[in-house]
Chain A
Amino acid sequence: MAHQAHAYHMVDPSPWPLTGAVAALLLTSGTAIWMHFNSMSLMSLGMILLLLTIYQWWRDIIREGTFQGHHTPPVQKGLRYGMILFITSEVFFFLGFFWAFYHSSLAPTPELGGCWPPTGITTLDPFEVPLLNTAVLLASGVTVTWAHHSIMEGQRKQAIQSLTLTILLGFYFTFLQGMEYYEAPFTIADGVYGSTFFVATGFHGLHVIIGSSFLAVCLLRQVQFHFTSKHHFGFEAAAWYWHFVDVVWLFLYISIYWWGS
C-alpha cells in the first residue's frame, strides 16, 4: 500500500551524514596533529568513526533499496547520475596530479640536472612489474564484464566465480604494487620525481583498494541474493568505478612509468 503519491524516495532522518562530517574533521585535523605533535589519537578516532559511518550508512541504503523497495526507476536514475558525477569529480582529482607531474617533467629545473628523470634517479623498468600490473588490471576489466553479463543472464554461479576472480586480480595488483614500493631504488623524499610518483600512484593504489572493497561487498550481496537480472545497480556502480581505476592506471603507466623513464 503506497502512502506517497510519487515514485521518489523521501529518506528517513539519519545520523550518518553528521558522523561522516565529524569523522572528516577528526581525520584531517588529526593527521596534521600527528605530523606536528606526535599524537595519533585524533586521527585514530577519526578513522574509527569513518569506518562506522561507512558501514552503517551503506547498510541503510541496502536496506532501503533491496528490502524496502525504495529504489524505483526514477530513484535509480538519480543514483546513476550521482555515481557518474562522483567518478567525474575523481577524474578531476587525478588530473591535478597529472598536471603536477607534467609541470615538473616537461621543463626539468637545473637543480634536477636539467633532465627527466632527474640525475641520480634510477627508474623502474616499465616492462617488468608495471607491465604485469597493466595486464592484471586489464584482465580484471574482462572478468568484471563477464560478471555483469552473468548477473544479467541469471547465472548465479558464474557471477560469483567471475566476481571473485576480479577481486583476486585486484588483490594481486595491490600486492605487486606493494612489492614495487618496497623494492624501488627511490623514495617519496627523492625530490619532485619521488613526490609525483608516489602521490599519483599512491592515490591510485588507494582507489584500487576502495574499488576492490566495493566489489567484495557486491560479491557478498550476490551470494545473498540481493541482485536480480534486471536490478543490480550497486554492482554496476562498482563496475564503473573499477573501469575508472583501470583507466587511471593506463594513464599513469603511459605517463609516469613509460614516458617518464
Chain B
Amino acid sequence: MTITNPHLSHEAVSHDSPCKRLSVCVCLIYKERVGFPEGEVLEEKDRLSEMEMSSATLAARRVLAAAASHGAEEAGAKTWKILTFVLAFPGVGVCMANAYMKMQAHGDHQPEFVPYSHLRIRTKKFPWGDGNHSLFHNGHTNALPDGYESSEH
C-alpha cells in the first residue's frame, strides 16, 4: 500500500508562523542534531538562508565552532568530555577546597542576640512541633524570640 499523504512521508510540512522563527532559533543550536529526519533539516536550512539569523544564534555557533577547533569533529562528545574533566571538575574541586578552608577559619561563630522586633516573627505558630522552631532550626545559630536556647552555648 502506498502512502501518498506528504504528512506521513519524510517531507517537511511547510508552514510559516511567527512561532516558527522562535522554534527554529532554539533548534538551530542543535541544527543537525534535532530529531527530525534529514529531509526536513535541509528544508529548514534553505528557509533559514532566506531569514536573517538572530545574532544570539550566530554567536552560539561561533562559540561552538571555536570549541570544536580543539576536537576533530564539530563540538562532539569528546570535546564536552574533555571540558568536564579539565574545566568543570577542577573548578568544583577548587571551590570545595576554598569553602572548606574558609569554614575552618571562622566556623562556630554564634551571632550576638539582640531582641529586634523585626526579626524572629511569630505572628502565626509553625504547624509542627511546639510551633516556635523553623523547619531547619539550628539551636547554635538560630535564636528563639527570647534568645538562644539554654541547652546550646
Binding site for B on A (CB under 8 A): 1-2, 5-7, 34-35, 38, 72-74, 76-77, 80-81, 84, 111-113, 118-122, 125, 127-129, 131-132, 134-136, 138-139, 142-143, 145-146, 148-150, 152-153, 155, 158, 162, 165, 169, 178, 181-191, 194, 230-233, 236
Q: Which residues from B are CB-within-8-Å of A84?
A: 22-23, 26
**Complex contacts, A152 vs chain B, CB 8 Å:** 33, 77
B153 within 8 A of A: no
Give the bracket for the number of chain B residues in contact with chain A: 35 or more
**Contacts A139-B88, A142-B84; is A73 near B36 (CB within 8 Å)?**
yes
Contact A191 B136, beta carbon cutoff 8 Å: no
- Which residues of chain B are within 8 angstroms of A131 by Cβ–Cβ distance? 95, 98-99
Chain A interface secondary structure, helix, strand, loop or mixed?
A: helix
Residues in B neighbouring A76, C-beta threshold 8 A = 35-36
Bound complex: CA A191 to CA B122 (Å): 10
- A183 x B138 contact (CB < 8 A): yes
Q: Tell me the bound Cα distance from A158 to B141 in angstroms.
A: 44
Q: Interface centre among B8, B19, B84, B111, by most A CB within 10 Å?
A: B84
User: How near does chain A come to B80, taking the closest CB pair, in angstroms?
Assistant: 4
From 87 to 112 in chain B, residues with beta carbon under 8 angstroms from any chain A beta carbon are: 87-89, 91-92, 94-96, 98-99, 102-103, 111
List of B residues within 8 angstroms of A77 by Cβ: 23
**Among candidates A7, A139, A191, residue contacting B119 with C-beta atoms closer than 8 Å:** A191
What residues of A have a CB within 8 angstroms of the CB of B81 in the complex? 146, 158, 162
